[in-house]
């Protein structure tokens, strides 16, 4: 398919051989906009081809110039209940303003309405969502100019160890930290994840196989899955990784979950202290995580009590493609 904005481009879906060009496009653009040199690796991108139940190549559009160079990307990812489509649009910085971004956005809208809108409840609201780092002013300006509205803010919070002693975790009475056993506990972690996050903004449970793929891709070291139990019931967990490419010197808490009946006991703080101690033992200089700035469970206050502070803000934008008629 050939489109002719100011700069002639050709759009197509990627093949596995395109992964190096995709990684270069994403990392180069993010470095220009945020100063972060690496946000994704080729290995991570190749793994996406195997996500259960999602046609990743068919949900990505590459824009090529007349010389065959990748000059832009757009994603269009939609999961059950198929009411929210997540998109990310990147354009080579020096080529912005020549119509590439508008072409990619219209392609995403066409894809969403043609493929995903029919999968949704016909009376439900159907929206397109996108995120923008506060440093990525071009992205925010582009989204705002195309009918996207800010609907939420998210914080990246961080603690720097500074070679100081860290608190020893104090576990509530009746709570026990146990080693994670992948062969027998993965379903229990999934159930705890859904129970703990069910009231969070924008949460939708996804099928087990998709969740398993994402969790194991993002948190590949099972020794950094910290599970706590109250007798035979998993009360919560801290799922962590030491392998995020954008923060090589820091540990990362991907998910901190506590079932509602075990909250306000100090369990979340104990899990954080345990994770901090383990990452310090492994030579990391600190720990970061991301959190909804309007979290209703008190997570932001918990992280502040643990010594973390806000280092970055990102914005979630939304454009309504169909209003609810229910």
pTM: 0.94
Share of the chain above pLDDT 70, in %: 98
Domain 2-147: assigned CATH number? 3.40.630.30
Pairing between β-strand 126-133 and β-strand 84-86 as defined by DSSP bridges: parallel
157-313 and 2-147 share a CATH fold: yes
Tokens linked to 104: 């990619």
Q: 37-49, pLDDT tens digit by residue?
A: 999 999 999 999 9
Q: Of the candidates 195, 185, 278, which has an alpha carbon nearest to the alpha carbon of residue 228?
A: 185
Average pLDDT of the residues of the chain: 95
- The pLDDT value recorded for residue 47 is 92
Q: 217-235, pLDDT tens digit by residue?
A: 999 999 999 999 999 999 9
Q: Is the pLDDT of residue 5 over 60?
A: no
- The pLDDT value recorded for residue 8 is 86
Beta bridge partners of 250: 286
Q: What value does the mean pLDDT take over residues 94-118? A: 97
- The pLDDT value recorded for residue 1 is 42
Q: Where are the domains of the chain?
A: 2-147, 157-313
E strands present in 25-147: 60-64, 70-75, 77-78, 84-86, 89-91, 126-133
Q: 49-89, pLDDT tens digit by residue?
A: 999 999 999 999 999 999 999 999 999 999 989 999 999 99
Q: 287-325, pLDDT tens digit by residue?
A: 999 999 999 889 999 999 999 999 999 999 999 999 999
Q: What value does the mean pLDDT take over residues 148-167? A: 97
- The pLDDT value recorded for residue 4 is 47
- Check whether the bond before 242 is cis (ω within 30° of 0): no
CA within 13 Å, CB half, 22? 26
Contact 91, 290 (CB under 8 A): no
Q: Is the pLDDT of residue 3 over 60?
A: no
Find the radius of gyration of the CA atoms of the chain.
21
Q: State which fold the 157-313 domain adopts.
A: Aminopeptidase (3.40.630)
Contact 49, 62 (CB under 8 A): no
Q: How far apart are CA 128 and CA 257, in angstroms?
A: 27
Burial pattern 15-29, b for ≥16 Cβ within 10 A else e, equals eeebbebbbebbbeb
Q: What value does the mean pLDDT take over residues 2-8? A: 60
Q: What value does the mean pLDDT take over residues 233-261? A: 97
Q: Is the pLDDT of residue 2 over 60?
A: no
CA within 13 Å, CB half, 159? 24
Compute CA distances 234 → 65, 187, 211, 266, 275, whole Å: 53, 11, 18, 16, 17
- The pLDDT value recorded for residue 142 is 98
């Amino acid at each position: 398919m050939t489109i002719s904005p100011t700069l002639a481009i050709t759009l197509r879906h990627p093949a596995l051989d395109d992964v190096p060009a995709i990684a270069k496009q994403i990392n180069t653009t993010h470095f220009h906009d945020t100063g972060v040199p690496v946000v994704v690796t080729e290995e991570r991108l190749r793994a996406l081809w195997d996500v259960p139940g999602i046609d990743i190549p068919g949900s990505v559009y590459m824009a090529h110039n007349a010389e065959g160079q990748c000059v832009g990307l757009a994603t269009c990812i939609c999961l059950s209940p198929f009411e929210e489509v997540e998109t990310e649009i990147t354009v080579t910085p020096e080529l912005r303003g020549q119509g590439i971004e508008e072409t990619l956005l219209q392609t995403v809208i066409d894809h969403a309405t043609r493929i995903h809108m029919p999968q949704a409840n016909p009376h439900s609201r159907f929206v397109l969502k996108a995120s923008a780092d506060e440093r990525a002013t071009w992205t925010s300006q582009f989204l705002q100019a195309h009918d996207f509205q800010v609907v939420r803010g998210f914080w990246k919070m961080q603690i720097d160890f500074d070679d100081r002693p860290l608190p020893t975790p104090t576990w509530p009475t009746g709570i026990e930290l146990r080693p994670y056993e992948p062969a027998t506990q993965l379903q229990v972690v999934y159930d705890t994840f859904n129970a703990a996050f069910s009231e969070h903004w924008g949460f939708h449970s996804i099928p087990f196989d998709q969740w398993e793929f994402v969790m194991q891709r993002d948190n590949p070291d099972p020794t950094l899955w910290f599970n706590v139990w109250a007798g035979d019931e998993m009360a919560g967990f801290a799922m962590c990784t030491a392998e995020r490419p954008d923060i090589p010197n820091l540990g990362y808490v991907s998910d901190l979950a506590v079932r509602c009946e075990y909250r306000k006991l100090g369990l979340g703080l104990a899990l954080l202290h345990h994770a901090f101690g383990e990452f310090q033992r492994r030579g990391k200089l600190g720990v970061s995580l991301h959190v909804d700035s309007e979290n209703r469970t008190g997570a932001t206050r918990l992280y502040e009590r643990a010594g973390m502070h806000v280092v970055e803000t990102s914005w979630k934008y939304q454009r309504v493609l169909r209003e609810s008629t229910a």
